[in-house]
Amino acid sequence: MNEQLRAIADLDRVIHEPGRMMIVALLAAVAECDFLYLLRETELNKGNLSSHLAKLEAAGYVEIEKTYRGKVPQTLLRLTPPGRAAFAAYRQRLNAALVEQLQARRPS
Amino acid sequence: MQTQSLMKDNLHPLSGVPAAADLAQLQALMQRPAQNVNADGSFELGWGVAVLLGGLIPYLNATLPKTVWASWWTSWIGYVPFLCFAFSPYAIPKIIKRFITWPRTGYVANPNEVKLTQLILLMIMGGAIGLGLALAFFFVSDLREAIGRSDVHRQLPHFIWVGAKLLVCGIVAVYLGRKTISRRPALPTAYDAALIQQKLAQIPAGRKQLHAVKFTLLGMFVGIPILIGGVALGLIFWYRIALPQVGISWPQLGVAGFLVVMNALLYLMANAVVIRQLWWKWLVLAFLLVAPVMLAPAIPYPAVNSGLSPTLVSLPPVMLCLGLAWFLSGAATLAWFIRRHPLPDLEDP
């Protein structure tokens, strides 16, 4: 397997799915947010978003806190330190893939 | 922006798409929370109220009787606008987000947000620095005056007392400075600049690209300040030509021009994203650059008893126009935001 394919094959499968990648990328850029915010930003439906969040929570990447704002239930979401580390590693791998692609374009 | 349309094509590097496209999409997603901070016009409203109050305070000083400041029981009337001026850029966006924005688009806490305690500590530090500089100025001028006299020893307690106050200001400023001004962690980005730079440097074509990037960055860092300075100078000369009959001095025009350009720049930065959808913000930007100084001569100056130096005395009318423009623009943006984002009929799962 060449280096370019290896970099791609090593990508974290939990993050490397379009819906979950959107969720993790948005959560990486904020301290915390609620379910409604992610619903609006990702434009996923409630079921899909819940399912992706459950997978990310099971992997230990996302922390889900059920709370109340006044009398309204609120689900707070934040990336855990392992989640941030996994996303940093994922970005690193994508960057490595980019570099490999750039090097592959090198004129011989 | 449609997130799914952003993400749907060419997502997987496995499909043979260059990783650059994936990273660009990732970067676009990661920038969105910061880009949408002022989508509701909350910053504009907060800043507008602060600038309006900043312009109104000298008028208040000019109209309040001196006796108000003389008594502890009444002087708070004079300080309330100062407090509102200081806290409105922080408090108004918070209130708008809490009661209008978050119920519509969901709660989000951006990293590196300034907390209230941090803000108060920063203000105390700023006050200590300002007071320290003023004390130092008076200390030096008193000392120069006293050196020539024969009874300099009589003023020794006075100098010790001022020196002690200076020392306290210095200690407070340094202590709070170390406590509050810390290097904030940079927001994560999709790109690993160090890795890409390192690898590009190994390829001849990549080295050319790196040189191009460096020249572009240099051009931005040198060119943008030159451009801003040029715009400010051009505006000041234009004000002078357009206002020949009004007795505004060059220093007054300079201070006003600097304030106007800084506000226009801040307006452009705050609306960098939303201005693509709201074309009328370009008109507000043009108004901010041209109108405040042109309209200022028509507004009476609070010249008497305002506590302002002659150079600054023309600023309050300019600030009133600037603040009003910010405030109206913010209110219109908020109305647009509310119309565009109705309250969701949503049950939390």
pLDDT at B70 over 70: yes
Nearest CA-CA partner of A86 in A33, A35, A10, A5: A10
Lowest mean pLDDT among B81-90, B145-154, B303-312: B303-312
Q: A93 or B150: which carries more pLDDT confidence?
A: A93
pLDDT at B267 over 90: yes
Binary contact (B29, A95; C-beta < 8 A): no
Extract the tokens encoding B334: 């908020």
B109, β-bridge pairs: A32
In this prediction, residue B285 carries a pLDDT of 92
Confirm or reject contact between B151 and chain A (CB < 8 A).
no
In this prediction, residue A7 carries a pLDDT of 61
Residues of chain A where predicted confidence (pLDDT) is lower than 50? 108
Q: If pLDDT is split at 50, 70 and 90, which confidence band does B5 have?
A: very low
pLDDT at B298 over 60: yes
pLDDT, tens only, B241-260 = 777 666 667 777 788 888 88
pLDDT at B316 over 90: no
In this prediction, residue B10 carries a pLDDT of 38
Q: B148 or A73: which carries more pLDDT confidence?
A: A73
Scan for tokens 């011989």, then name that residue: A108
Q: B346 or B54: which carries more pLDDT confidence?
A: B54
Question: Would residue A108 count as lying in a domain?
Answer: no
Reported ipTM exceeds the 0.90 cut? no
Binary contact (B3, A72; C-beta < 8 A): no
Question: Would residue A42 count as lying in a domain?
Answer: yes
Q: Are strands A72-79 and A32-34 parallel, antiparallel or unpaired?
A: antiparallel
- Average pLDDT across chain B, whole number: 81
Confirm or reject contact between A85 and chain B (CB < 8 A).
no
In this prediction, residue A105 carries a pLDDT of 61
CA-to-CA distance for B130 and B232, rounded, in angstroms? 27
pLDDT, tens only, B90-134 = 999 999 999 999 999 999 998 878 888 888 888 888 888 988 888
According to the per-residue pLDDT averaged within each range, which of A1-15, B157-171, B229-243 is highest? B157-171
CA-to-CA distance for B219 and B221, rounded, in angstroms? 6
Find which of A5, A6, A22, A78 to mutate to test the B interface (most B CBs within 10 Å of its CB): A22
Nearest CA-CA partner of B325 in B286, B284, B273, B283: B284
Binary contact (B205, A97; C-beta < 8 A): no
Shortest CA gap A74–chain B (Å): 7
Question: Would residue A67 count as lying in a domain?
Answer: yes
Question: Would residue A61 count as lying in a domain?
Answer: yes
In this prediction, residue A82 carries a pLDDT of 93
Among A26, A73, A107, the residue with its CB nearest the CB of B29 is A26
CA-to-CA distance for B281 and B279, rounded, in angstroms? 5
Give how many domains chain A has, as a whole number. 1
In this prediction, residue B6 carries a pLDDT of 44
pLDDT, tens only, B21-38 = 778 888 888 888 888 888
| Residue A90's CATH number | 1.10.10.10
Q: Are strands B108-109 and A72-79 parallel, antiparallel or unpaired?
A: unpaired
Extract the tokens encoding A74: 């609120």
Angle at A67 between CA A63 and CA A68, to 5 degrees: 150
Q: B80 or A52: which carries more pLDDT confidence?
A: A52
Percent of chain B with pLDDT over 90: 19
Segment B187-202 shows an average pLDDT of 77
- Residues from chain B that touch A26, judged by Cβ atoms under 8 A, are 29-30, 32-33
CA-to-CA distance for B167 and B92, rounded, in angstroms? 36
Query: Residue B15 gets which letter from DSSP?
Result: G
A75, β-bridge pairs: A66
CA-to-CA distance for B147 and B149, rounded, in angstroms? 6
Lowest mean pLDDT among A51-60, B191-200, B298-307: B298-307
Given CA atoms B326, B328, B334, B336 in this order, what sign does their dihedral have?
Answer: negative
In this prediction, residue B56 carries a pLDDT of 87
- Whole domain around residue A60: which residue ranges? 3-103
In this prediction, residue B50 carries a pLDDT of 93
In this prediction, residue B43 carries a pLDDT of 93
Segment B147-152 shows an average pLDDT of 74
In this prediction, residue A106 carries a pLDDT of 56
Whether this prediction's pTM lies above 0.80 is answered by no
In this prediction, residue B208 carries a pLDDT of 79
Extract the tokens encoding B308: 């302002």
